[in-house]
Amino acid sequence: MTIFQKIKQFLLGENNTTEAPESYCPNCWGRQEYEGEFLEAVHREQIDLNNLDQKKGWIDAYATRYFEGIKLRTAPEGVVCGACATVYHRS
Ligand SMILES: [Zn+2]
């Protein structure tokens, strides 16, 4: 799944909106208010579910710029966040 697809899923509410998109650090997503800032930016761009696909470029650029740092990386013990170093053990 691409970043765009994940974010689309997130905006469509297929994930619980208080949770980070899959493969991003839930700790950073919540605590550092990535979610709030992202939703605010989406609102500023006047992105809604009708024009979401046309705004793919903007969303990809935003994700690359702001979310790369909180992306979870695979580690021997599970996945680890590059920003806060929280380790999420595989369940
Ligand atoms: Zn983190």
CA 51 to centroid of ligand 1, rounded, Å: 30
CA 21 to centroid of ligand 1, rounded, Å: 13
Region of 56 (left: φ > 0; alpha: ψ -120 to 50; beta: rest) is: alpha
CA 88 to centroid of ligand 1, rounded, Å: 10
CA–CA separation, 41 and 84 (whole Å): 23
Q: Which residue has the tokens 């969303």?
A: 59
pLDDT of residue 84: 92
pLDDT of residue 45: 93
Q: Where are the domains of the chain?
A: 3-89
pLDDT tens-digit profile, the chain (91 residues): 677 877 777 777 765 555 666 788 888 877 656 778 888 898 899 998 889 999 999 988 988 888 888 889 999 989 999 889 999 987 6
pLDDT of residue 31: 67
CA 50 to centroid of ligand 1, rounded, Å: 31
CA–CA separation, 52 and 91 (whole Å): 33
Give the amino acid at 37: E
CA 70 to centroid of ligand 1, rounded, Å: 5
Instruction: Yes or no: say if 15 and 23 are a contact pair by the CB < 8 Å rule.
Output: no
Q: pTM (2 decimals)?
A: 0.67
